[in-house]
Structure 1
Amino acid sequence: MKIILISLDTLRASRLTGYGYTKPTSPHMDRIAAQGVLFERAYAADIPTEVAHTGIFTGKIGLTTGVVSHGSELAHLPKSVPWLPTMLRSAGFTTSAVDNLYQLKEWFARGYRYYTNSVGGNRWIDGVTVNELAFPWIEAHREENFFLFLHYWDAHTPYLPPADYIPEFYDSGRDPYDPANRSMERAYNHPAYPFFKHHHYDLVGPVTDSAYYDALYDAEIRYLDDRLKELDDHLEKLGIAEDTLLILFGDHGESLTEHDIYWDHCGLYEPTVHVPLIMRWPGRIPSGKRVHGLVQQVDLLPTVLESIRQEHPSHINLAPLTDPIGLDGKSLWPAIRGGAEGTAEKIFLSECAWQAARAIRTSRYKFIRTYDSGPFTRPPRELYDLIADPAEKDNLADQLPELADQFEQEIGEWVSSKLGGREDPMIRQLVEAGLPFRRRIEQILSASGMSWDEWQRDPRRERFDQAASSCH
């Protein structure tokens, strides 16, 4: 038995044709979905990258593990917490990863017999590099029962797709640098601009047309899709595709100017928390299956374990695996077989990087409670009817105060039940260290001779650029 778990970093569900997008971003991912199952409403309960992946490999949400923030020095995951690669290695699988999450936290390398750090000379990791590192390993271990984790970053900023991928998504008659186009001004003058200036705006150039950034994102997805096709072709060539449980997931999505978020993944809005989830396992998962109910990323661990238990009679050299105690996730197999719509009636959401907020997502409503809005302007409470208002533009919190109160109470009760008397790690983060990404902006501004308060009062790009230039 082979298991390949693939993280498609920063991949937004609604930007894939299989999820209703009209541009041809994902023909091969659509093919994989047609051969297996696509989960229409899969959610990242904790965002962004660090907390999302911690949840995936533990089957537990951030409130359970205590890991709720991205890039925080306060975060720690005890070695006593069951970890998927460790469990699989103990059960007899050869475990491997092509990944660079070890750069974030040491626990992401746990449990692997082979860990290939994909980080290179810059922060942008090309999918070609991931494949070049993974293919020889797959070939060398094709006769073994293995678990392989692959982490593709192509959809993440900076958006630098090969030039020949762009024309399909951006009208050749448009000029992305047209000085008459003012659509980038809000992004360039946003309080978060100092953080993004160096690692994606400067690399793309002085773009004036915001639609060009959206096109670059689409082109990156199509480029990623081609890398996944190369992987699939390699599995077919080696003759192991039929024996491989393939799982594709987005760790979080991406906001493309919605809610004053410019090509980044914060905010508990649909563009960032609604992620793709696709599984294929020939002969075990029915072809063309679509699951309509709510599911979440922490469901992956118990799903993988159940998959192994299903195969155990024909793989006698693998030790049986039982679900760890205290999982927040539930196996997706009942939904795959058609016995359930999903795994949850509601999903609780959380973030603590750019902003600190929690939310509840039901089949109809989204309620968001913001505790610290960071560099954004946010009301403390937001309530959206996602059926009538899928773009989350009409905040109903003041119009439906009783419903908002009910949801806020539900969040409070959920937090209390998960903590069981323990300290709230989000409150600890805010009190002891503040929002991690705000601290990064403050460090950048400080090096430029500016304070956070000064920037907040007058966040103009040219002012920051002049201050930054004077420091060199």
Structure 2
Amino acid sequence: MRILYVDIDTIRPDHLGCYGYTRNTSPNIDKVAQEAVRFNDYYCSDAPCLPSRAALATGRFGIHTGCVGHGGINAEMRPEGKERGMADFNGRYNLPAVMRRAGMKTASISSFADRHAAWWFNGGFDETYNIGKRGLELGDEVIDLALDWLQRKESIKDWFLHVHVWDPHIPYRTPEEFGKPFENSPLPDPWMNEELLAQHRNSKPGAHSACEVNGYTPAEDIAHPRQITEIKDLSDFKTMIDEYDTGVLFADYNLGKMFDLLREQKIYDETIIIISGDHGECLGEKGAYCEHGEADYITTHIPLIIKWPGCPQNVESNGLHYNVDLLPTLIDMIGNIPPFKCNRVVGKPNPAVYDGESFAPCIKEGKNGGREFLVVSQCAHVCQRAVRFDNWIYIRTYHDGYHLSEADELFDVEKDPHEITNVASLYKDVCWHGAWYLEHWVADNMLSNIYNYHEDPLWSVIAEGGPFHCRGYLQNYCTHLEETGRGNLAKELSEKHPEEFRVSY
């Protein structure tokens, strides 16, 4: 059995042709999708990059692993304690470790572990390849390694290969010689208008806002000329979308080389191909530009395409699923995976306990199915939890990351997929419904914590000084706001975060 897991960083499903996008951003991915099951409501349980891949690899929520942020104690996995043997969970029960127990040669081509010091991610892989640019490598550099690996391993019949490309992630870095393929192409969904953009510029502060796309200042990124630094008008907005789409196309172009090699080796038809990502990207939604910093619909909604030989082709499956569900699903689909064996385990060997739930029938039969609701979190840029149910996403903000977000937000993602209008005040009963789901989810997961920790990592992040990506910026940012004629926003931020305004980290 051969499994190719394609991991596209910062990929929005609604910017792929197979999900209905009318720009030709993904011809190679779309071709795979024609032979696959496409999942329409698949979400990362914990955003962004580090927490998402922690959830994917372990099949566990961040509230259990403790890995919910990008810095501080909650950028780490919680220790297993006295029950840990010579091999920890990630050496025994995580995604690549399970694939290895199933008899596969396991390899990863990714700089993710290096970028985030997430060395646990390498657990279970026989081989890991790191280009060494910590996420700034181009797709062709990654795919060249993948092609070399596939050629060297051509005689191996059982493997699991994880290939990670970063091209849609900021800074937009597609080579200049690739051109500007969408420069003369109108936006497929011109949802942004001058009035909304002006509202974002005047009332939505914070990192990656319309006035400060790259962080807390509009500093130019000389090394990456494609990366826009400020959205002043609709022309800038289109440029941003064009460059994001170019990154998607460049990733797809290089992935196509890998799919073609599988065809040349005459193993494409029998190879299981899984295409997904870690999180999406707000491109103006909720006033965030080139950012994946909230627990909102756009950030947490990711594609999932599974081509499994012998299973339905060119079908879509509706139903709510998490990325933590993928590991139990693969266990079900592969079947008869031997248990972990080790003679040197302290106490009783810990059985594999996953938060994920298998959706194998959706792959085997191409039918709908999923959970009643999902709870997703973000603690790296803001501290939020959100509940996705029916046609709604309810977002509860505990720390706004200096964006002046409202504490409660509700969006109808079917009618308002770009999250333009917060309808929380109009549908209080729906908000209460979402809050009820959230309260019970937190209580149930704290009580069932598999690490026997009973501290909520979200509150640990707040106790450390707030989300990692905004710590220590408030005073200087407020000064910048005053100097750029937005003193009213500086005043509002300093009043909302008085302790953080006075503290210098």
Instruction: Say if 2:451 is the partner of 1:451.
Output: no
Q: Are the structure 2 counterparts of residues 206 and 354 from structure 1 closer, same or farther at C-alpha, using a change threshold of 3 Å?
A: closer
Deviation at 1:408, TM superposition (A): 1.2
Cα distance in 2 for residues equivalent to 1:27 and 1:191: 29
Cα distance in 1 for residues equivalent to 2:162 and 2:138: 16
**Equivalent pair of 1:294/1:343 in contact (CA under 8 Å):** yes
Q: Are the structure 2 counterparts of residues 430 and 405 from structure 1 closer, same or farther at C-alpha, using a change threshold of 3 Å?
A: same
Which ranges of 4 or more aligned residues in structure 1 deviate by more than 4 Å? 181-185, 198-202, 205-208, 320-324, 456-461
Instruction: Say if 2:397 is the partner of 1:389.
Output: no
**Equivalent pair of 2:8/2:277 in contact (CA under 8 Å):** yes
The answer for the alignment partner of 2:260 in structure 1 is 233
Give the residue type in structure 1 aligned to 2:136.
W
**Equivalent pair of 1:189/1:460 in contact (CA under 8 Å):** no
Cα distance in 1 for residues equivalent to 2:218 and 2:132: 20
The answer for the alignment partner of 1:194 in structure 2 is 216
Q: 1:95 aligns with which of 82, 92, 106?
A: 106
Equivalences for residues 226-375 of structure 1 within 5 A: 226-282=253-309, 284-309=310-335, 319=338, 325-338=352-365, 341-375=368-402
Instruction: Say if 2:169 is the partner of 1:147.
Output: no
Give the residue type in structure 1 aligned to 2:454.
R
Structure 1: gaps spanning 5 or more residues: 174-180, 313-317, 462-472
**Equivalent pair of 1:57/1:301 in contact (CA under 8 Å):** yes
The answer for the alignment partner of 2:139 in structure 1 is 127
Q: Are the structure 2 counterparts of residues 352 and 198 from structure 1 closer, same or farther at C-alpha, using a change threshold of 3 Å?
A: farther
The answer for the alignment partner of 2:27 in structure 1 is 27
Q: Are the structure 2 counterparts of residues 370 and 130 from structure 1 closer, same or farther at C-alpha, using a change threshold of 3 Å?
A: same
* TM-score of the aligned structures, taking structure 2 as reference length: 0.80
What is the percentage of aligned positions where both structures have the same residue? Answer: 30
The answer for the alignment partner of 2:456 in structure 1 is 424
- Which deviates more, 186-195 or 137-146? 186-195
Q: Are the structure 2 counterparts of residues 147 and 168 from structure 1 closer, same or farther at C-alpha, using a change threshold of 3 Å?
A: same
SS in 2 for 1:410: helix
SS in 2 for 1:387: coil
Give the residue type in structure 2 aligned to 1:210.
F
Structure 2: gaps spanning 5 or more residues: 80-87, 187-193, 202-208, 342-349, 448-452, 487-505
**Equivalent pair of 2:112/2:135 in contact (CA under 8 Å):** no
SS in 2 for 1:290: strand
**Equivalent pair of 1:268/1:368 in contact (CA under 8 Å):** yes
Q: Are the structure 2 counterparts of residues 43 and 119 from structure 1 closer, same or farther at C-alpha, using a change threshold of 3 Å?
A: same
**Equivalent pair of 1:191/1:375 in contact (CA under 8 Å):** no
Cα distance in 2 for residues equivalent to 1:196 and 1:73: 30
Cα distance in 1 for residues equivalent to 2:10 and 2:288: 14
**Equivalent pair of 2:99/2:160 in contact (CA under 8 Å):** yes
Q: 2:94 aligns with which of 83, 105, 109?
A: 83
Give the residue type in structure 2 aligned to 1:429.
V
Cα distance in 1 for residues equivalent to 2:222 and 2:169: 10
Once the two structures are superposed, residues 137-167 of structure 1 have per-residue CA deviations (whole angstroms, 9 ceiling, x without a partner) of: 1222223211111111011111122345454
**Equivalent pair of 1:50/1:71 in contact (CA under 8 Å):** no
SS in 2 for 1:357: strand
Cα distance in 2 for residues equivalent to 1:396 and 1:133: 48
- Which deviates more, 226-235 or 182-191? 182-191
Instruction: Say if 2:15 is the partner of 1:6.
Output: no
Deviation at 1:459, TM superposition (A): 5.7
